[in-house]
Amino acid sequence: MADCVNHPGVESVRYCPRCGQPFCGDCLVELEGTAYCGPCKDVRVQELQTTPASRRPTSVTVFGVLNIVFGAMGVLCSPFVLLVLLAPQFIPQPSGGNSEAYLVTHSPLMRAWDIGSTVIGIVASAVLLAAGIGLLSLKPWGRRLPIGYAIYCLCIVVIGSIITFVFLIPAMMTEASCSNDPGARGGAIGGAIGGVCGYGITLIYAALLLFYMTRPGVVQAFRPTDKP
């Protein structure tokens, strides 16, 4: 072990976790269960005494606002989607019989998936809304909720992709090939592209949440801020 920075000839006992310099026991001060050198301890105390907004990382602010916006949209709009799914008579039926709406009303599997995923989506939107509020206020649970939401999104993307590409798209293409409507096949392809884009956006947002919510600076910002 190297000599103490402040006391040459005196063997150090550990390194300060902030500055990385070696110090003896007389030069270290314990704060929040961590031993700092004197200057680094003073800096840490100042950080603990700052207001939440001043020590909130930019990424936390950005995702806090985005989570509130997306969560509020989901909570407000998804119930109307669920209402339509529960009352399929309100879904317009195309003359050619080809569309996702037709499959939803005629396929028990698709109807069950759409209703189930919409109900879960409403709950997830409420969680996302709460996560945004927690992020902006730097609550410890405010960082954990977005991580849980991101994991949920990854699961939905995997399950939804299987249902879309194994069941929905082949059924739409079959309906299109049997239809006399020249635009039916194009509509089926357009629906497939829309599904891919939707899942892609969800996957990207989930990945960004996982990346930024686990950065060291973000984790540090959500540590308990009890003053010594």
Give the pLDDT mean for 81-103: 60
Candidates 83, 144, 151, 146; CA nearest to 119 is: 83
The domain spans of the chain are 14-49, 53-221
Among the listed ranges 32-36, 128-132, 210-214, which one has the minimum average pLDDT value?
A: 32-36
* Residue 13: φ, ψ to 5°: -105, -25
Q: Tell me: the pLDDT tens digits for 62-83?
A: 999 999 999 999 999 988 888 8
Average pLDDT along the chain: 81
**C-alpha to C-alpha distance for 131 and 122, rounded to whole angstroms:** 14
Is residue 127 within 8 Å of residue 142, measured between CB atoms? no
227 burial level (CB within 10 Å; 0-12, 13-18, 19+): exposed
